[in-house]
Each structure stands twice: as structure tokens, then as C-alpha cells.
């Protein structure tokens, strides 16, 4: 039996999603321990829609696992949340799926939100959950520059040198920059993302918003297809995976998490 789960987590407590050597705390490790207790069997190799790095959060990550255990969706949710005692990961929903569903390979689109706090004083309560910039940012400059990246492009300039993706060509369906008071929000959706792609885009947009570069610079970075021509990688704490799109035939009980963060 294959089960899909929607989960949310605070990435500050973890060294990313994927299990690593050295017993580092990861979301995958915590979740598999909790699921194994419910199933009364070992649950391992949970597959995920998008592997997140150290410090990156999720408001609706999607995973799947295989099990012989027969439990109701309610039992998977309540049981998992009971054993996830650190209160940094929560299961939002559970749904039985056919074997042709795969959390990663069945995903059609992924959506991220990057949050910036623009004010002279550093954050207290939201430290590690927003990216802080002490300089005033210009929304219009950031919005204008962001539209250059919409569509299908080679994003080689926006990925880490350690990225192992075979192709750097991605399709960005939308890239919006908005502002509410001191907070700036970068919302981006694409078919898939390169390693550090969102954070590198955010770094360029922040530099443009702060006046360190002109809006036209983002096109120069894109065309260069060279990571060394780009800006700084924005901190991980401001990044949230907010939604993953699947074919409606899977009937996943997903939520609209755009308003959560």
C-alpha cells in the first residue's frame, strides 16, 4: 500500500530533508521513526516532492511511502503527530494512492515563497524564519527585474556549483514580488528548481531593490549562464516550500497554503 502525506516543518531545527551520515537531525529521519511506530514495521526511504536544505521550511511538502500496514488516513495523521514529539514537524493529511504515484516524479509544479524583513533593526521572534536586510528596498525595481526570469530559460547562473541536475533549463510560470509593511514576499512557481535557485534569485532581487545594481543586471546574470556572475546566495531561513501541484486524478487533499506564511 502506498500512502501520500502532506507535511509542514520548521527547517531551523534540521540539517535539511534527507537522511545524512553522522546522525544529523533531518526531517526524513524524524518522520520515518514516527511512521514506523504507527505501522509496527520499518518505514524507510520516504520519497519527497522537493528536498529542502538546512534551515529551509515547508508549509506543505508532499511525501510518499510504502507499507503493509492498514491504517485510516486519520490514524496516520494523529499517530504521526503523536510521535513527532519535537513539535517541529506536523502531518497535515494522509491519502492512499496507487503505485503509479510518486511524490517527486509525479509533481508537475513546485511553489516557493521567500520572505524578507526590511528594517534597520534585526528581528527577534522571527529570527531564522525571515531574511533580514537593514536597508530599505524598492518594490517597483524588484518587480520589474523579476519579470525577466518568467518563462523557460537556462538558469545556470542561479544554481550552486554543487548542483547535480543534468539540465539547468527550467520553466518559471510566475515570479511575483509583493510588500506588506516591512515584509517583502517573493513568490515563484516552476516545473522544478535547481539547487539554491530560489535563494540565488532572491539574492539578485535584494541587491536590485537595495540599489546595489540596476534592474537590467538580472538579465545580464541570466544570459551569462555563469554562477560567478550572479549575486550572493540569500539566507536559507527566509525560504518556504508552499505547494506542489499534481494531476487531479490523484485526488490529494491538499490545502492552499499561500496565506499561511
User: Is 258 among the domain residues?
Assistant: no
**CATH assignment of the domain containing 92:** 3.30.70.580
Residue 13, C-beta contacts closer than 8 angstroms, at least 6 positions apart: 25, 86, 88
The Cα 259–Cα 51 span in angstroms is 22
Domain identity same for 155 and 204: yes
- Report pLDDT for 23: 85
Record the cell numbers describing residue 200, joined without a space. 540565488
Structurally, the chain folds into a number of domains equal to 2
- Report pLDDT for 261: 55
The CA-to-CA distance between both ends of the chain, in Å, stands at 33
Domain identity same for 155 and 97: no
User: Is 255 among the domain residues?
Assistant: no
- Report pLDDT for 257: 58
Phi, psi of 245 (to 5 degrees): -100, 130
- Report pLDDT for 258: 55
Residue whose cell numbers read 538546512: 54
Q: Among 71, 106, 141, which residue terminates a domain?
A: 106
Asked if 184 and 142 count as a contact pair (C-beta separation under 8 A), the reply is yes
Asked if 106 and 90 count as a contact pair (C-beta separation under 8 A), the reply is no
Which listed residue (10, 53, 100, 247) is catalytic?
53
Beta bridge partners of 58: 9, 241
pLDDT per residue as tens digits for the range 159-218: 998 888 899 999 999 999 999 999 999 999 999 999 999 999 999 999 999 999 999 999
Domain identity same for 90 and 192: no
Buried b (16+ CB within 10 A) or exposed e, 188-205: bbbebbbbbbbbbbbbbb
**CATH assignment of the domain containing 184:** 3.30.70.660
Above 90 in pLDDT, residue 244? Answer: yes
The answer to which of 31-35, 161-165, 211-215, 222-226 has the lowest mean pLDDT is: 161-165
The Cα 194–Cα 166 span in angstroms is 10
Residue whose cell numbers read 547535480: 164
Domain identity same for 68 and 145: no
Q: Which of 155, 161, 252, 147 is nearest to 208 (CA)?
A: 147
User: Is 125 among the domain residues?
Assistant: yes
Domain identity same for 28 and 85: yes
- Report pLDDT for 22: 82
Q: Tell the burial category of 134 from Cβ atoms under 10 Å away from its Cβ (0-12, 13-18, 19+).
A: exposed
Question: Which domain does 59 fall in, by range?
Answer: 2-106
Tell me whether residue 176 is one of the annotated catalytic residues. no
As a whole-number percent, the residues of the chain with pLDDT over 90 amount to 91
- Report pLDDT for 259: 52
Domain identity same for 85 and 130: no
The Cα 115–Cα 65 span in angstroms is 31
Domain identity same for 26 and 149: no
The Cα 30–Cα 70 span in angstroms is 21
Domain identity same for 100 and 138: no
Domain identity same for 16 and 133: no
pLDDT per residue as tens digits for the range 121-155: 999 999 999 999 999 999 999 999 999 999 999 99
User: Is 141 among the domain residues?
Assistant: yes
User: Is 218 among the domain residues?
Assistant: yes
pLDDT per residue as tens digits for the range 91-125: 999 999 999 999 999 999 999 999 999 999 999 99
Domain identity same for 223 and 136: yes
User: Is 253 among the domain residues?
Assistant: no
Helices (H), 95-236: 139-146, 197-209, 217-224
Domain identity same for 113 and 150: yes
The Cα 224–Cα 148 span in angstroms is 14
Residue 259, C-beta contacts closer than 8 angstroms, at least 6 positions apart: none
Amino acid at each position: 500500500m502506498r500512502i501520500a502525506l502532506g507535511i509542514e516543518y520548521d527547517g531551523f531545527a534540521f540539517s535539511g530533508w534527507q537522511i545524512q551520515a553522522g546522525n544529523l537531525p533531518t526531517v526524513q529521519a524524524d518522520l520515518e521513526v514516527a511512521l514506523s511506530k504507527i505501522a509496527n514495521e520499518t518505514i524507510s526511504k520516504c520519497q519527497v516532492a522537493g528536498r529542502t536544505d538546512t534551515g529551509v521550511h515547508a508549509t506543505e511538502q508532499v511525501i510518499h511511502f510504502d507499507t503493509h500496514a492498514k491504517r485510516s488516513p486519520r490514524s496516520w495523521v494523529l499517530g504521526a503527530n503523536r510521535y513527532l514529539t519535537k513539535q517541529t514537524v506536523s502531518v497535515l493529511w494522509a491519502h492512499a494512492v496507487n503505485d503509479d504515484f510518486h511524490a517527486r516524479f509525479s509533481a508537475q509544479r513546485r511553489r516557493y515563497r521567500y520572505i524578507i524583513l526590511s528594517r534597520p533593526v534585526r528581528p527577534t521572534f522571527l529570527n531564522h524564519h525571515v531574511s533580514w536586510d537593514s536597508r530599505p528596498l524598492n518594490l517597483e525595481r524588484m518587480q520589474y527585474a523579476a519579470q525577466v526570469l518568467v518563462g523557460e530559460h537556462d538558469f545556470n547562473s542561479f544554481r550552486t556549483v554543487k548542483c547535480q541536475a543534468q539540465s539547468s533549463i527550467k520553466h518559471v510560470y510566475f515570479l511575483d514580488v509583493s510588500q506588506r509593511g516591512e515584509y517583502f514576499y517573493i513568490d515563484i512557481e516552476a516545473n522544478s528548481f535547481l539547487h539554491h535557485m530560489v535563494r540565488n534569485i532572491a539574492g539578485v532581487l535584494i541587491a536590485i531593490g537595495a540599489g546595489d545594481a540596476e534592474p537590467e543586471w538580472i538579465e545580464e546574470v541570466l544570459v551569462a549562464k555563469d554562477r560567478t556572475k550572479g549575486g550572493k546566495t540569500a539566507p536559507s531561513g527566509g525560504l518556504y516550500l508552499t505547494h506542489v501541484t499534481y494531476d487531479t486524478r490523484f485526488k490529494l487533499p491538499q490545502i492552499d497554503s499561500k496565506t499561511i506564511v
